[in-house]
Structure 1
Amino acid sequence: MEEIVATGCWTSIQPREAAALPNVRHVVTNDKKDYLVPEVLGLPRETFDLEPMDRVPIPGLHRRTRAFIKVQDGCDNRCTFCVTTIARGEGRSRPLADVINDINAALAGDSKEIVLTGVHLGSWGQEMNFHLRDLVKAILRETDVRRLRLSSLEPWDLDADFFSLWMDARLMPHLHLPLQSGSESTLKRMARKTTPDSFRGLVKAARAAIPDIAITTDIIAGFPGETDDEFAETLDFVREMQFSGGHVFSYSPRPGTGAAKMKAQIKPEVRKRRNHILQEAIGESGKSYQEKFIGQTMSVLWESASEYGEYGWRMEGWTGNYLRVSAVAPSPRWNEVDEVTLPDSKSGVFFGTIVRLSE
């Protein structure tokens, strides 16, 4: 009889259900996946010379405008709405040298922008007495990256000094800082390690240090126990922060999480209504942010090119501060970074004019 080994996120969340599947003889959760062989054979980990399997980057195969480099996995936070800590296990950082190798491989594949990612990106290096700033400095120092972008960062992992990194113009002026709620009492039920006041101070410091920075966020609408007053606090705070964009999620219970067991679950129709109101608020502030750049000339990385009849090619891409731009060119400019004047925007897209081509 064939024996199946089940592993991955779902097995970490629902190990009993995974074990009950036909012919499944072993369930290896995500936090043990690097040691799958000794786990299955019932041998001590030290039996094997190789611990976590090394990844060998292959230069020249990326062929992507943006390369997403995963530098960290897992999460040690315990936000009550999140199933990630169950699915991905404890936080684990990749060695700096491995990250540098992956970035150099992506650059050899002609990627123009590197995006650092992780389940809890801001915790990179904590088990090695390093900080994310050390990784960013090393990348800027040891690679020829032209554009470096950071993905989502928890606000409690940053301080005002962190923003001095943006003195290097290769670091893109965009931060994604998940807020989740603008109500302090709701944040406590979420077990978030921040408050509206501390979040406000962080945003103020970022905007003071990085001109024209785009700050986007995540918000959860209808978290268990969210009263009308708490929702009003969140709405007021979102309007105050003037985010350049963001995602609003209607709360949905995840098996095994603390929030799923909470009383006072909000009715779906109330979650939906609150979601719509928050989306409108973020949409308004996003439009105001975009309007600041009408008439300016900015660098754009073209991520797509499509034929546009007698006009040539329709290009679409992004500025460093995450403004979406479209323009027409006589020849395809995919994966090039050009200077573009932004005369107007419609439905969140700037229709620009290329004024200088990259060499």
Structure 2
Amino acid sequence: MMRIVLALLFALIAGPAMAQLSTSPGEVMRGAVNNFIRPAMTDFGGKADALSTAVAQLCTTPSQANLSAVDTAFANTALAFGRIEAIRVGPIMEENRAERLLFWPDRKGIALKQVQAILSSQDESATSPETLRSKSVAVQGLTALEFVLYGTGFEALNTADGAFRCRYGLAIAQSVANVADELVAAWNAEDGIALHLMKPDATFTDFRTPVEAQEELVGILSHGIEAVRDTRLNPFLAKGAAAAKPKLALFWRSGLTVPMARANIDGLQALYDLSGIDGGVPADRTALPVAISAEFAQADAALDLVTDPVETAVADPAQAQALADVVTATQQLGVLIGEQLSSALGLSVGFSSLDGD
């Protein structure tokens, strides 16, 4: 009932103003790149650089104050990445950058085992970003750094006894910052991925027409919503007689499971809004953008109700229901964006890599 009421409210408010929408694919892609992707990539780069600096300071002067500063910097970096994580096109798909930033899902616990092995053996080759890069992607990114900062034995980080652990954490932070800087440079290059999306050309191998570019954008939105549902929430939520498994959640040690899901959804909503893609919906389909906005609002409202760390939240009926409501909202958004929006715009959106097709 609440979802219907919200949709009707949005329709009453927005309906008359949206009747004359007519935004070209070129305008949409310029909006996506210049209004969201480039600024968000730059923000991630700055947060990652600040994280590297904070970890370096901790290694130089171990203390609780410096460890707390690293905690803040880690959260800022992870959530900044969460906002752009769905932009799986162009430079992030090259040189294993996506996996080097965040190795997830990790269904077999590969990252945990490999990170623990490095810490146990005190492998010095893991303390330089140059030599770390030659190792498994599972030990180079934010999931690996989370265990260093919050996993068993992390307390040593604010003492001299944690010197090796800190040096390894610094190498990871520097690696993440390096990748982030590469993404910023690639997205700001005059002749790179941004140009291909904003000004497609028949000579390009990726985006030859405005329609292909816009299909990529809708795919990012659709598959990004799908990823929130299938890799962030469903793996740990209770299902029928099966109990919740919060330790299967991303970033449960740092308490960032729910904030990361929110960052994912907020980033997708910002991309949707700032691209102006709803302006290309035909006049007879203007109820569709209203419904999409209502579902984003539903997801946001449900996330507001999850106030505890994930281990506590899944044991509380009200918060567990709120998480289930987020899943429902992502299911609705998947249909509204992946099927109805793409159809309204005359686009064809392919399968996600999560489908296994």
Larger relative contact order (CA 8 Å, sep ≥ 6): 2
Where is the helix percentage greater, Structure 1 or Structure 2? 2
Where is the strand percentage greater, Structure 1 or Structure 2? 1
CA radius of gyration, larger in = 1
Q: Above 0.5 in TM-score?
A: no
